[in-house]
Amino acid sequence: MEAGVVNRKITQGLERISKAFRVLLWEESKLYKISPIQIQLLIFCDTHKKENLKVGFLATEFDLTKATVSDSIKVLLKKELLVKKVNPKDSRSFLVELTAKGKKIVKKASLFTSALNESIDYLSEIEKGVFLKQLMQLIYQLNQKNIISTQRMCLTCYHYKKEGNNHYCNLIQKELKNTELEIDCLEHKEL
């Protein structure tokens, strides 16, 4: 079969999955009367380093303008889901932190991908590993073309080493199975 035809089918498949993700996120955000991006910002705040939770970093992370992120943050502050914190490294900017109310929403909202998770569970462990690795290669290529701006994956990490088909993390000094490759690692260090 012609390569272009296969590529189109894969692209269509990815588009359908992306649509499912948007629908699930939209349904969830309606429950809390906030926008899908605001839900994603709250979830991000729960799972990432405190020093990164500032407008500029969030804008880069979500490929949005600072003004858009700033507007969303204002809503979340007003709804008392986030609170402002002094940025010890720069007194001209501020950091945000989840409030107890925000944490409660994150706990419930994080489950919004459960339908996708259940579907992924139809794959075997080996299939999941291969899928994850291929997904990362695709993300890597998109990053190289400046379409996806940030990534904290093993493939772009200073600590990552590839030996043949094997992966190794120099930081934890451990061989990584395909399923152990990280896609958003807090210890990631740019090359």
Rounded CA-CA distance 55/174 in Å is: 35
Q: CA dihedral defined by 15, 17, 19, 22, rounded to 10 degrees?
A: -130
Nearer to ligand SF4, 115 or 171 (CB): 171
Given the rule CB under 6 A, which residues bind ligand SF4? 154, 157, 159-160, 169, 171, 182, 185, 187-188
Three-state secondary structure call for residue 134:
helix
Nearer to ligand SF4, 7 or 137 (CB): 137
Rounded CA-CA distance 31/44 in Å is: 19
**At its nearest, how many Å lie between ligand SF4 and the CB of residue 185?**
3
Token pair recorded at residue 149: 């701006």
Nearer to ligand SF4, 61 or 182 (CB): 182
Nearer to ligand SF4, 118 or 190 (CB): 190
Question: In terms of residues, how long is the chain?
Answer: 191
Bridge partners (DSSP) listed for residue 82: 98
**At its nearest, how many Å lie between ligand SF4 and the CB of residue 39?**
26
Alpha helices by DSSP H, the chain: 3-32, 36-47, 55-61, 66-78, 100-109, 114-120, 125-144
Nearer to ligand SF4, 21 or 140 (CB): 140
**At its nearest, how many Å lie between ligand SF4 and the CB of residue 92?**
31
**At its nearest, how many Å lie between ligand SF4 and the CB of residue 151?**
10
Token pair recorded at residue 163: 């030996």
**At its nearest, how many Å lie between ligand SF4 and the CB of residue 171?**
4
